[in-house]
Amino acid sequence: MKLKSKELQITHETILACIIFVFSIVLFGATYNMKTMALASIGPSFVPRLISVLMGILSLIEIVSSLFRGKEVPTVTEEEQKGVKKYSDILSIVIIFFYILILKRLGFIIASSLFLFFQIWLIQGNVKKKKLITFAIVSIILSTSIYVLFVKGLSLILPVGILG
């Protein structure tokens, strides 16, 4: 019985993951130039450092997996592509624009819940009503969790809107 060894192949995904990894290192290094205040429990560099570390970890995972995956990149069939809308990129920009417009008026929790709901719906394409309820629940739970984390955990101020 002969074992076939997979040959390491550099793909577009590998190159992109390497670029993101280098960017995460540069971002992490740039956080040391941020000024901190003595009154703040967590400085302004905390979130950028956290994001850069997460970016670095995820890009390393992608580098390793893309090297071993080789050219076996999954393709989208025509049936799966039915849910992908023709103008989804433009609609995403419109959704972001409306999110920015309603953020102060409605507050972070409501605006972010609406943003996430419509963005998930846009990405998923044509779905049943039961899925829409799941999207709504996930959006509300995620927005509320992020709000609590930032306001209570990190002592940051987010727009309260009509809930405050």
Report pLDDT for 140: 92
Residues of the chain with pLDDT under 70: 1-8, 37-41, 70-87, 164
| pTM for the structure as a whole | 0.54
* Residues 95, 114: Cα–Cα separation, whole Å: 9
* Residues 17, 64: Cα–Cα separation, whole Å: 9
Report pLDDT for 81: 53
Report pLDDT for 78: 55
Report pLDDT for 3: 42
Report pLDDT for 39: 63
Report pLDDT for 1: 43
Report pLDDT for 129: 81
CA quadruple 127, 125, 102, 41: dihedral, nearest 10: 90
> What Å distances lie between residue 146 and 91, 96, 152, 153, CA to CA?
24, 18, 10, 10
